[in-house]
Amino acid sequence: MPVINIGGITDAISGAMDELTAVKEKAQDAIQTGTNVIRAGLETIPQVLPQMLPAAAAALATLNYRGSQGSFLDIGYPITLAAKFMQISQEDNEHLGRPLMQPKRLEQLAGFTLCKNPQIVINGSIEEEEAIQTILASGFYIE
């Protein structure tokens, strides 16, 4: 709820009824003293106004707002980078290796190796050459 902060008028608000009665009497006096009501009113403003306006203004005072209520709600939350990870099955690097996907001189590698479409030329029989290519394509161990 907005807080009404009207300073010294707060006191005037609490005594509004009493002051309205006084205003009534003062106004009636002002009217009775002169035939020209407006002139009488103008002349009595310095006397009437100080008593009338506090009560009247207080009686009719409203509070106008600018701005909307801000929020400190976001300040309570830390900045968070949250991550969720899905686990994968146990690894067997010795017998299955890991993806490499590039041309390699085989002497630079060790252990299990799997090749794609291997090509090799040996000083041997065609059967031996085909056997080597079959083994390279099905997985072998460089030891």
Partner 1 sequence: MLSIELYLFNKKVNSTAIPPANTPHETLVGQLVGPFTPQSLTVRFDLGAVDATEPKYNYARIGIFNRYYFVRWAYVDGFWCASFAVDVMASYRSTILSSTQYVLRSASQSNGKIIDTAYLTTGDVSSQYSQLSYYGFYGVTDADGMVVIGTISDSGYNTGAVTYYAMTISSFSQLMTDMLSSIDWAGISASEISKELQKALINPVQYIVSAIWLPVSASVYINSSNYKTSTVRLGWWSFNLLEQAAIITLNSTKVSNIFARIPIPKHPQSYRGQYLNLSPYAQYTLYFWPFGSFEIDGTNLIDDSELKLDVVVDLLTGMAVLNVRNQYGSRTSDPILSSRANLGVQLPTGQIAANLSNLDNALTMAGVTAAAPVVDAMLGALNQGTGSGPSSHSSTSYTGHSHTSGKF
Residues of span 72-131 touching partner 1 by CB under 8 A: 72-91, 93-94, 96-125, 127-128, 131
Choice from 12, 33, 34, 47 touching partner 1 (CB under 8 A): 12
Least gap, CB of 90 to partner 1 (angstroms): 8
Least gap, CB of 96 to partner 1 (angstroms): 6
Closest CA to 43 of 53, 51, 55, 31: 31
Number of residues counted as binding partner 1 (CB under 8 A): 112
Q: How far apart are CA 135 and CA 67, in angstroms?
A: 78
Least gap, CB of 89 to partner 1 (angstroms): 5
Under the criterion CB under 8 A, does residue 47 sit at the interface with partner 1?
no
Under the criterion CB under 8 A, does residue 34 sit at the interface with partner 1?
no
Using the CB atoms, write b or e for 59-92: b if 16+ within 10 Å.
Answer: eeeeeeeeeeeeeeeeeeeeeeeeeeeeeeeeee
Under the criterion CB under 8 A, does residue 1 sit at the interface with partner 1?
no
- Is residue 82 within 8 Å of residue 50, measured between CB atoms? no
Under the criterion CB under 8 A, does residue 35 sit at the interface with partner 1?
no
Q: Which amino acid type is present at position 71?
A: S
- Residues whose CB falls within 8 Å of the CB of residue 41, separated by 6 or more in sequence, listed in order: 30, 31, 48
Least gap, CB of 143 to partner 1 (angstroms): 4
